[in-house]
């Protein structure tokens, strides 16, 4: 189901916690936050910015062929390449970069 901005606002202002004051959110609305996100997307060529640690690569997959075996094994199976996969290096994530 899709929620409307009004639904989001009702949720936002219904938060209750002893360490949280709803007054801290008095100037926040879902509409304003959606505009900020849309502006960011519009101004960025991609959400996955290189300066934030993102990389773009191609990934190759070996495709299964039902009821068919390759004499030399999987290395001769047809290959499918997916270009433009965004990813971060695992070591950078672990280090918190």
Which residues are registered as beta bridge partners of 53? none
Domain definitions of the chain by residue range? 5-43, 50-95
Instruction: Write down the H helix ranges in the chain.
Output: 5-13, 30-43, 90-95
The Cα 37–Cα 8 span in angstroms is: 15
Residues in the chain: 97
Q: 0.75 exceeded by the pTM? A: no
Q: What is the pLDDT along the chain (97 residues), one digit of tens a residue?
A: 577 888 877 777 777 666 777 677 778 888 888 898 888 777 777 678 888 888 999 999 988 777 777 777 777 888 999 999 999 988 888 887 6
């Amino acid at each position: 189901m899709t929620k409307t901005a009004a639904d989001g606002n009702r949720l936002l202002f219904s938060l209750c916690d002893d360490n949280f004051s709803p007054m801290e959110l008095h100037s926040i609305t879902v509409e304003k936050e959606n505009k900020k996100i849309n502006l960011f997307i519009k101004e960025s060529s991609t959400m996955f910015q290189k300066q934030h640690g993102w990389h773009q690569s191609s990934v190759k997959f070996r495709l299964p062929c039902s009821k068919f075996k390759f004499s030399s094994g999987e290395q001769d199976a047809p290959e499918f390449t997916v270009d433009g996969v965004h990813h971060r290096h695992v070591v950078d994530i672990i280090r918190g970069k």
